[in-house]
Structure 1
Amino acid sequence: MSQVKLSLQNALLTLEQLQQTPSREDGITEEQEDHLRQLGCHLIQHAGILLKLPQVAMATGQILFQRFFYQASLRKFAVRDISMGSVFLAAKVEECPIRFLDLVNVFDHLIKKFHRLPLDPMPAYQQTFYTLKDATVVAEMQILKKLSFNVHVQTPYAIMINYLKVLELIDHPIIPQLAWSYLNDGLRTSIYICYQPPTIACSVIWLAARKENVVLPTSPAWWEVLDAKLEDIENIAGHITSLYHRPLAISTLPLTIEQVEPYLRGEFNKNVNNGSAAAAEGSATTAPHLSSTKSTRVSRFS
């Protein structure tokens, strides 16, 4: 009988899984898939902030969202629904459960905000509430099914803090918060499903130290002492910094299945812009852009 080994490490993707995703096989380009993944993670992060969830729960939700869409196609499952399901499931995993009413109201608010629609509160228990609630329940079950109920997520936040203490950087006025922000931004990339948390923690410290021109020990190399490879550190840093050179107009991205096909044909942007312009007539508000979550740094760093 073969032995089954249990591991507390995160499940990582193979190179084949990373390159041949269900969405790519469904005719969605790499760029389109990347944009939709970022949109979902952006929704989860902002929903978590409004729901006052700890950052670890927001991170878990985004990692579950990313894992799910390496098992399912963005053409068959809505970004909105899987985002809600990821937040709801992550809150349970991290033992900070939330109410359906709060979750649905927050997502309703964010969707209206992203598409520049009037921010009218949703009347209590109208049909929209039940629609979004049902979508969340179905999405949660789909996530569990596609991930084979493996929702264990190890995040690098605590590891990074310990490494900062080892490197005597925990009291630096900028580096700890900057590294924390890089961890948050990296959730919108594939690094959390390609590398283990200790390597990610090393990379954000390396990136923050370079940004602040702080020299780290090289004799012996500090990353070798922490059992990380410089090549991996540089690759992770490259994924994170690439986010800052490609801002997204999030109001032009589809949130529901019905919006995906027009988006893939290049028709959704025009329609949503016309609709939101009519709804916001007389307003000088410009479309929000997604470039970095640094503007919403988490105050829970400790």
Structure 2
Amino acid sequence: MSRKRGRFSFVVPAEYVDDSESRRDGVSNDDEVMLRVYGCEIIQQAGQLLRLPQQACATAQVIFQRFYIKRSFVDFKVEFSAMAATWLASKLEETPRALRWILQVFHRVDRRRNGLPLAPLEYHDPLFSNWRTNVTVTERYMLREFGFSIKVEHPHKLVLVLLSPQVLNASHELTQEAWNLLNDSLRTTACVRFNPETVACAMILLAARRLGEPLPESPPWWEMFDLSPAQLEECIGLVNHLYTLPRAHSIPVWKDLSD
């Protein structure tokens, strides 16, 4: 975590991610990447069913990614953390959703992803009580890890400004592609490895490459943020790697100590 230009910025070096708490608990790099992608995917799917604004879904995914920088997938089940992050983000973004709704929606997402018949999660079901307890506890741990102060800045607005007619004058197609890439980047550790300016510029550059649309290079437009090509390429690499992965799924690494 650092402070840049007078504001709080949650950014950690690559070494911190590579030597994560999960890795120390024996979770492989591939499994940790898969769990991060899976958690963010179910957050996005549940957020849509809960009719949360995209900003709230994005905030939930950032909270989720930050939490597993500090804690291990072995200690906190990925599904409970996804639910807790969604619940917390809905309150932070002033679009609160009741915990009972969140539990029911995530239950529906889980059954749908596993090809099971869709059935409601009833209040009297022991699973409902178990999930409610675990999600409540996980949210408390999240708040404690972040010092009860969570600030999330998203790069989306900056992308719109940079691609506007007044700046780069990009096409509608490039703007939409960059926007989609930003949302996809939330499933990677880009949001904890780089500040919003870096992510915004990297996704614009990647979008331009994918569409074959040229952008000014004399001087390079990203230099206004004091960014290096190496930083941009590293961020782009995280997102490109995402597209090579198989379908996201849960991995049973959590150790339930309540049994």
Shift, 1:6, TM fit:
9.7
The residue number in structure 2 matching 1:168 is 169
Aligned residues: 252
Deviations 1:64-112 (A, max 9, x none): 1111111111111100111110001111111111112211110010111
Partners of 1:228 and 1:5 lie apart in 2 by 13
Structure 2 unmatched runs, 5+: none
The residue number in structure 2 matching 1:254 is 252
Deviations 1:183-234 (A, max 9, x none): 1111111111111101111111111111111111111211113433222111
Q: What amino acid does structure 1 have at the position aligned with 2:138?
A: A
Matched, 1:84 2:83: yes
Partners of 1:189 and 1:249 lie apart in 2 by 12
The residue number in structure 2 matching 1:51 is 50
1:162–1:236 Cα change, 3 Å: same
- Say which SS state the counterpart of residue 118 (structure 2) adopts: coil
Matched ranges for 1:269-288 at <5 A: none
The residue number in structure 2 matching 1:22 is 21
Shift, 1:61, TM fit:
0.9
Partners of 1:121 and 1:128 lie apart in 2 by 11
Shift, 1:257, TM fit:
4.2
| TM-score, normalised via structure 2 length | 0.90
1:167–1:47 Cα change, 3 Å: same
Q: Percent identity between the aligned chains? A: 35
Shift, 1:19, TM fit:
2.0
- Say which SS state the counterpart of residue 112 (structure 1) adopts: helix
Q: Which has the larger radius of gyration?
A: 1
Shift, 1:254, TM fit:
3.5
Shift, 1:161, TM fit:
0.6
The residue number in structure 2 matching 1:212 is 211
| 1:79 and 1:255 in contact (8 A); partners too | no
The residue number in structure 2 matching 1:234 is 233
The residue number in structure 2 matching 1:137 is 136
Partners of 1:7 and 1:92 lie apart in 2 by 25
| 1:9 and 1:154 in contact (8 A); partners too | no
Structure 1 unmatched runs, 5+: 259-302
| 1:189 and 1:240 in contact (8 A); partners too | yes
| TM-score, normalised via structure 1 length | 0.78
Partners of 1:102 and 1:6 lie apart in 2 by 39
Q: What amino acid does structure 1 have at the position aligned with 2:75?
A: K
The residue number in structure 1 matching 2:154 is 155
Partners of 2:4 and 2:108 lie apart in 1 by 44
1:80–1:199 Cα change, 3 Å: same
1:16–1:241 Cα change, 3 Å: closer
Shift, 1:125, TM fit:
4.5
The residue number in structure 2 matching 1:146 is 145
